[in-house]
Amino acid sequence: MPHTTPTIELAQALISRPSVTPDDAGCQAMLIERLEKLGFVCETLQFEEVTNLWARRGTATPLFCFAGHTDVVPTGPEEKWSQPPFAANIEQGMIWGRGAADMKGSIAAFMTALERFIEHHPDHPGSIALLITSDEEGPFINGTTRVIDHLEARNEKIDWCIVGEPTSTAKVGDVIKNGRRGSISGKLTVRGKQGHVAYPHLVVNPIHKASPALAELSAEVWDNGNDFFPPTSFQISNIHAGTGATNVVPGHVEIDFNFRFSTEVTADELKKRVCNILEKHNLDWDIDWVLSGHPFLTAAGSLVEACQAAIKGITGLETELSTSGGTSDGRFIAPTGAQVVELGPINATIHQIDERVSVNDLNTLSDLYENILARLLK
C-alpha cells in the first residue's frame, strides 16, 4: 500500500505534536476541524488541566462510539531513538514516533474510517460519536471518567464502543480485548520500633514481623479465574524501609502491592481477605487503598460478532478474545451498560524507545473500523 494515504498523513500530523500527558498539544482541534465538516457536533470538555472531546453525529439510537486518547507517555532519552520521537518519519514501512501505536495511529484510523463511511452512508441509522481524552496515560481523574459522568448526567448512553488500544500481537486484528481485569493497589505500612541492630531485645523489626504475612499473601489462591479471566494475581512492587544506615533497625516498613482481579472476586472481598491475614499475624499496620478499576466483560453480542466478522473478512484471521494486559478507559465506559471492545495495532513497541507502527497495519485498521461501522449501522 502507498505511504501517502489519508490515514497515514493524519497519523503523522498527530504524532508530530508532543502531547505528553495531560497536554493535548492541539490534536483534538485538528480532529474537530475534520469532524465538523462531517456533521458532528463537537464539545470540548475541559476538566482542570485535561482536555476532552465529545463529538456526536445524529441524535437517534443506537449510539456507536470510538474512544481513545491523544496524550502519550514521555519519550525517555531522545538521543537513544533511531528517529526523532516527534518527527513521525516513515522508514522500513513503519511510522516511528511516540504515540504511533499507543494510540494516535488508531485515532487516525478512526477518523478516516468515519470519513469513508459517512461518504457512503450519509443517512446512516443511529448516531456515531468520538470520545477522546488527554488523560489516559496519567492520573485518569479528569479524563474519560469525567466525560462519562457528564454524559450520564444527561442520560446519554453509548450502546457500542471500540477503544483503539493496541491489542494485536503478531498481525493486526489477531487479538481483541473483550474485557479487562480489575486493578486495586495498596500501600501497607507495618510499624515496629527503631533501634540499634546490636540490641535486638530493645527493637521490633517491622520487616521481620511483616515477612510471614507477606509470604502468606503471596501464596494465597484468591480465585481460579473463569472462561474469560485468568486467576486473580497479587504482586508486591516496592518495599521501602530503613534510614540508609546498616546498623539501625527501621521503625516502619512500607509495602506497595497490586491485585489484578477477575470477575470471580470483588475489590471489597480482596480487601477483607488481606486484612484478615494481617490481623492473624498480630501486626501494627494500616493500608491506603486505590481502586483503579473494576473488571469488565463483553462476552458476546453484536459488537463482538461485528468485530470478528470484519477481521475474518478483511484479514482472514480468526481473532482471539482476550482480557489480558493492563487497564484501559474501557473500564469507565462498560459500567454504563455499553458493549465495549478494544481493537488496535500491534503492541510490541508501546511505551518503548523507538515506538513504531506498520503503515500497512494502520491502513488495514481503518478498513476494519469502517467495516464494523457498516455491519452495525445498517
Q: Report the catalytic residues.
A: 71, 136
Q: Which DSSP helix (H) or strand (E) runs through 343?
A: none
- The residues that bridge with 162 in the sheet, in sequence order, are 66, 341
With 0-12 / 13-18 / 19 or more C-beta atoms within 10 angstroms meaning exposed / middle / buried, residue 243 is: exposed
Angle between helices 302-315 and 359-376 in degrees, nearest 10:
130
* Count of CA atoms in the C-beta half-sphere (13 A) of 360: 7
The DSSP string of 159-184 is: SEEEE----BSSSTTSEEESEE-EEE
With 0-12 / 13-18 / 19 or more C-beta atoms within 10 angstroms meaning exposed / middle / buried, residue 102 is: buried
Q: Which DSSP helix (H) or strand (E) runs through 73?
A: none
C-alpha to C-alpha distance for 265 and 105, rounded to whole angstroms: 35
- The residues that bridge with 44 in the sheet, in sequence order, are 53
